Amino acid sequence: MAEKKPVQIVETVLRDAHQSLIATRMSTEQMLPIVDKMDKVGYHSVECWGGATFDASLRFLKEDPWDRLRKLRDGFKNTKLQMLFRGQNILGYRPYADDVVDYFVQKSISNGIDIIRIFDCLNDLRNLQEAVNATNKFKAQEGRGEAQVALAYTLGDAYTLEYWTSMAKKIEEMGADSICIKDMAGLLVPYKASELIKAMKEVTKLPIQLHTHYTSGVASMTYLKAVEAGVDVIDTAMSPFAMGTSQPATEVMVETFKGTPYDTGLDQNLLAEIADYFRPLREQWLESGLLSPKVMGVNIKTLLYQVPGGMLSNMVSQLKEMHAEDKYDEVLEEIPRVRKDFGEIPLVTPSSQIVGTQAVLNVVMGERYKTLTKEAKDMLVGKYGRTTVPVNAEIQKKALDSLGMKEPITYRPADDLEPSLAKFEKEMAQYKQQDEDVLSYALFPQVATEFFKYREAQQTGVDVTAANTENKTYPV
């Protein structure tokens, strides 16, 4: 038998799986009872924080996300905790100043995060450097922390093997500990995965992880080929929250590699007990309608239009608001055009919302780019960073004129941003109960303020209305 090379598993049920399937509504209370068992599995890590969980905790569950992190850290004594981090955008939707990025990384690590998966929606590595530096700095101080840089996987003429391998080399040079290929829409097909992993393995010694979604129905085959090609770690979700717009099922991948050189060594009986815990939760959300059969099947359109699952559901609700649901197919077809005009960028938070909203406007207004959103203008003039291919010059000119700018920005966008922590501290001082509160406020001023008021009311025994459970879907 060939040399043993067990594939490692990142369990996503506490973050991406419920973000993808049930709009990030799993509460801390629903997570804690199973933590002990999950801690015994031997996962490479458990992804449990970041992405949309932060916003959703504050906004809908009326929970302090920092408190959730500390509770999970207490429970997971032997397992690394992982989070998803949007580069200079942190866990928000726009770039933040370096001092905020730095402090957020520090607090994430000191409250319990081991692995920070950092990505940028444009794959502009300049937007990742500050978060990587901060992770390395606090890793040295706290004795915990790993900087993982994730490349947003996308398709297009510019995205050749050469592109991905040159990015891998740069990531190694920038001081990252590992690389992730983040395929948020399930675009990576099995044989392409094989090619991609082999090529990347040739240029870097860093461990390579693969993250994909089941949306297009190929994900478990993609993992199989990627593992054969040498990928080190794959992201999976416990079966009750797997497949559809989520990840391949953990138990299925474990079984697939059993008795092969890639055997994960994970205990199928223990996994079955964990699945037994999550199954009734799945049933509960199916009954309430939060888990919709729509997100559970195969959607091959994702391969045609490259649209991540969360973006699709956002689009549907935008169209509903505008009473233009009949324009759905037209908007789907408009997305690749807008994406091309915007420099063939990956579609992932926040670029997915920016492109999606613009596509909706183009169709509903009946004229392309008649109206540009503020975010679209900023994207076109470089305020989110550098695109892989140049944006459409004509539309860029329109954006520049409307913003009163002569030229687009070519430097790192955050170079323009003044340190802002002190300002945030001042604004929210009356609500502060812990250092971390300023970070919640910096990212979501209104939502955090509402949460702080709710928290105070609860502490003083005032009757508070139940947490808002409005069904809003978050992008992945």
* Residues making contact with Co ion (CB under 5 A): 16, 184, 476
Among 108, 99, 131, 68, which Cα is nearest to 425's?
Answer: 99
Whichever of 14 and 428 has its CB closer to Co ion, that residue is 14
User: What is the rounded CA–CA span in Å between residue 265 and residue 258?
Assistant: 8
Q: Show the tokens assigned to 429.
A: 């001082």
The minimum distance between CB 62 and Co ion, in angstroms, equals 25
For 128-239, strand residue ranges (E) read: 146-152, 178-183, 208-212, 233-236
The minimum distance between CB 54 and Co ion, in angstroms, equals 15
The minimum distance between CB 223 and Co ion, in angstroms, equals 14
The minimum distance between CB 416 and Co ion, in angstroms, equals 30
Whichever of 314 and 362 has its CB closer to Co ion, that residue is 314
Whichever of 46 and 184 has its CB closer to Co ion, that residue is 184
Whichever of 88 and 215 has its CB closer to Co ion, that residue is 215
Q: Show the tokens assigned to 390.
A: 């140049």
Determine contact, residues 156/186, Cβ cutoff 8 Å.
Answer: no
Whichever of 233 and 319 has its CB closer to Co ion, that residue is 233
Burial of residue 207 (number of CB atoms within 10 Å: 0-12, 13-18, 19+): middle
The owner of tokens 């953990």 is 250
The minimum distance between CB 213 and Co ion, in angstroms, equals 6
Determine contact, residues 306/336, Cβ cutoff 8 Å.
Answer: yes
The owner of tokens 């979700």 is 237
The minimum distance between CB 311 and Co ion, in angstroms, equals 12
Whichever of 224 and 348 has its CB closer to Co ion, that residue is 348
Whichever of 303 and 405 has its CB closer to Co ion, that residue is 303
Q: Which residue is nearest to Co ion (CB)?
A: 16
- The amino acid present at 416, given as its one-letter code, is D
Backbone angles phi, psi at 149, to 5 degrees: -100, 130
The minimum distance between CB 476 and Co ion, in angstroms, equals 5
User: What is the rounded CA–CA span in Å between residue 141 and residue 110?
Assistant: 9
The minimum distance between CB 467 and Co ion, in angstroms, equals 25
Among 81, 27, 25, which Cα is nearest to 49's?
Answer: 81
Determine contact, residues 104/84, Cβ cutoff 8 Å.
Answer: no
- The amino acid present at 288, given as its one-letter code, is S
The minimum distance between CB 247 and Co ion, in angstroms, equals 7
User: What is the rounded CA–CA span in Å between residue 439 and residue 437?
Assistant: 5
Whichever of 221 and 405 has its CB closer to Co ion, that residue is 221
Whichever of 217 and 261 has its CB closer to Co ion, that residue is 217
Q: Which residues of 132-163 are buried (b: 16+ CB within 10 A; e: fewer)?
A: bbbbbebbeeeebbbbbbbbbbbbbeebeeee
